[in-house]
Amino acid sequence: MNRTAKTKGKVFLVGAGPGDPRLLTRHAEQIIRQADVILYDKLVDKRVIELASPNAELIDVGKDPSHHKVPQHKINELLIQQSEQGKVVIRLKGGDPFVFGRGGEEAEQLIKCGIDVEVIPGISSAIAVPAYAGIPVTHRKYASSVTIVTGHEARGNQLQWDVLAKLSGTLIVLMGVGTLAENLSQLMQHGKPIETPAAVIARGTTEQQQVVVGTLGDLQQKVQQAGVSAPAVLVIGDVVGLREILKRDET
């Protein structure tokens, strides 16, 4: 889009979905094709980024668990600076912007600066990744509720493990591979039965998807033996047992 400096810009917080580019929404694709600037995360599939106009400026602000290529405050500054130049700016995130994506924080900051913001939701890995692995997060017979938490909080002991351990539904832990042993241990220490079914799904919805199924008691060992690494989703609950019936052909 050709714009003058006097034209007011806009920021779109866009969810790119869990990995498979076919899960990108039509609205998201439309905006990506129109953008002047795209700040994208590490987990966004390159085929999604390639939808951008040849004239669009692409800025890699991807994050690793132990290393932030561009600190969050710098990302905020970039969004503000680019939009104040009258540009259509996209903050492109894996999954959904408001599900542990810091989209809420970014939206707050932008609105405080008087910048127009629109959120385009994406399919969250919390539901899509288990689904691709043949695990429905709810099921009338096995789980009438689902709880989603972030594994990054485990090291700070901010999660209420005593409460989580007592829940009868499905527990989804995102970004929890690095704290897997602690996550499982905390649940068992607070009374979750050791035989509770559990699964780790790495690189879910992509061609490299890897699924490891076990119980709270043996999953950590199985994950280590399989050499699983992030990004991955941890699913805990009886719905994991449905994988043998519902799983796709993964050969």
Contact present, 176 and 234 (Cβ < 8 Å): yes
* Strands 57-60 vs 170-174: parallel, antiparallel or unpaired: unpaired
Give the residue from 143, 44, 137 showing the smallest Cα distance to 92: 44
Instruction: Please return the burial class of 114, using the count of CB atoms within 10 Å of its CB with bins 0-12, 13-18 and 19+.
Output: exposed
* 63 annotated active-site: yes
User: Catalytic: which of 36, 41, 45, 96?
Assistant: 41
DSSP secondary structure letters along 64-84: ETTEESS-HHHHHHHHHHHHH
**Residues 24/44, Cβ–Cβ less than 8 Å:** no
Residue among 5, 51, 62 at smallest CA distance from 28: 51
DSSP 130: H
> Between 219-226 and 180-189, two packed helices, what is the crossing angle to 10 degrees?
170
Q: Is 36 a catalytic residue?
A: no
In 83-239 the beta strands, taken as DSSP E runs, fall at: 88-93, 116-120, 146-150, 170-174, 197-202, 210-215, 232-236
**Cβ(161)–Cβ(149) under 8 Å?**
no
Determine whether 222 is an active site residue. Answer: no
Which among 10, 36, 45, 175 is annotated as catalytic? 175
Q: Are 35 and 139 in contact (CB under 8 A)?
A: no
Catalytic annotation, pick one of 63, 218, 238, 247: 63
So which residues are the catalytic ones?
A: 41, 63, 175
